[in-house]
Amino acid sequence: MDLQFFCRVFLITALISLVCQVCSVTAGDIVHDDDLAPKKPGCENDFVLVKVQTWVDGIEDAEFVGVGARFGTTIVSKEKNANQRRLILSDPRDCCSAPKNKLANDVIMVDRGHCKFTTKANHAQAAHASAILIINNQKELYKMVCEPDETDLDIHIPAVMLPQDAGTSLEKMLISNSSVSVQLYSPTRPLVDIAEVFLWLMAVGTILCASYWSAWSAREAAIEQDKLLKDALDEIPDTRPVGSGGIVDINTTSAILFVVVASCFLVMLYKLMSYWFVELLVVLFCIGGVEGLQTCSVALLSRWFKRAGKSYIKVPLFGTLSYLTLAVSPFCIAFAVVWAVYRNVSFAWIGQDILGIALIITVLQIVHVPNLKVGTVLLSCAFLYDIFWVFVSKKLFHESVMIVVARGDRSGEDGIPMLLKIPRMFDPWGGYSIIGFGDILLPGLLITFSLRYDWLANKTLRAGYFLWAMIAYGLGLLITYVALNLMDGHGQPALLYIVPFTLGTFLTLGKKRGDLRVLWTRGEPERPCPHIRLEHQHHEELGDDNH
């Protein structure tokens, strides 16, 4: 094994461990009902995000996002129905006593602390404020609830919590003696956004391309092996398929160990999540993306530049490389570097998706599931892993570790890069619909195995397993998005739905068709050995000559 292949395997193993940290989160960041904050009369609002649009001296300025309280009147959903009101800084700042300001349906801004949220709201209402903005003492949004002993609430103004940085910006506007007015409204998010449709097509299309490439490579290797066997009647050659030196087969032990290692990586990401750590992940992602883009580009271009693809040169540290690889590599590196530098611009998601898809396809070429037994163990472990780190981890860490890591809540950035993402096109809140690499990669390992088996067994599309595995995956991912919308945008563990559909379909069809034992153990159909077959024919010909 040369250094190039060793580095490739090491890098891909590390990246697979990282990408599976986010394989559960698909979209959604709206804060809704919380079981820890039960509803009661006068305190029964849903938690909703609120847009706070500002105007300075009549000119539209910055927009901030807050969260509405359990108490108070509900906030209008349409911008045209929301009134502009003057913003006043409370005196005293905490509004724990009656404000000294003269208010006439103005919005009052107060600091959090020193008394109950409802006390602040009551004082603001008594002073004739039209709404109250409570500034948090942290960067995060906090859900404002009622105390257990508060049963006679009668608050008729909206109450909104804003993060600390938003409060700092608003205070600077007010201190500069400007006339500041605000408008509060909470637009509803559409049930389905077209971005989710494109993301579904992207995931299914990636597995489709990777499967056909993997099956084609396996069939070419089998044909090449048969040719070598036919040319070597006088010796028993190695029965390993030609080209398998570039393939990594997962076994049962490594499938189990992989999920354990992935869990350790997830906890490490959760504990160490910061700006510099995300930068490190960006570097790793770029290296993997360059490798994937280079592999896919060379495979595609070699059809037109056959001579450059088959002419090789030795490069120190990297081993033997084709001239085509050397020609393509600078463009792939430049693409990744440009994305990394400009990854915060609005259209950078395109570059991230291109690098991500190329990486996934490359991994599915190099890493193989050898049989259904290993695929079942891997997906079953991933299924439990997904559920644990999305749901059960809330009991241990008081928040969903998977979702926190995927969104990069503590990093100051828009999450880690091991995601495919598309902007939500008709969502007033903007944001992205996202899917983790693991939601494509792990089921993709089983689906690419199904097409390799079908081609080696000479099965038709309908009589094989690939078509039904692809349909099952597509349905499982579709159900994930349905569940996401039914759960009001809370992130969903996609493998919770994808694994039963995909694996269940495969196992059921295998048992029904009588192929389950071969699929479970060998992972490929029994083929007559050309060497033995040709030797038998050779002996028969000699026997005929003797007669």
Active site residues per annotation: 386, 439
- Which among 325, 315, 525, 347 has a CA at the least distance from the CA of 422? 347
CB within 8 Å of 180: residues ≥ 6 apart: 54, 55, 56, 86, 87, 170, 173, 174
CB within 8 Å of 190: residues ≥ 6 apart: 426, 427
- What is the spatial distance between Cα 123 and Cα 377, in angstroms, rounded to a whole number? 61
Do 446 and 503 touch, CB atoms closer than 8 A?
yes
Q: Give the CA distances from residue 110 to residues 130, 161, 499, in Å, rounded to whole numbers and listed in that order.
A: 13, 10, 49
User: Does residue 514 sit in helix, strand or coil?
Assistant: coil
- Which among 420, 437, 485 has a CA at the least distance from the CA of 193? 485
Over the range 139-169, which residues count as b (16 or more CB within 10 Å of their CB) and which as e?
eebbebbbeeebeebebebbbbbbbeebbee
- What is the spatial distance between Cα 524 and Cα 239, in angstroms, rounded to a whole number? 14
- What is the spatial distance between Cα 80 and Cα 78, in angstroms, rounded to a whole number? 5
Amino acid (1-letter code) at residue 279: E
User: Does residue 44 sit in helix, strand or coil?
Assistant: coil
In sequence order, which ranges of 457-494 are alpha helices (DSSP H)? 466-486
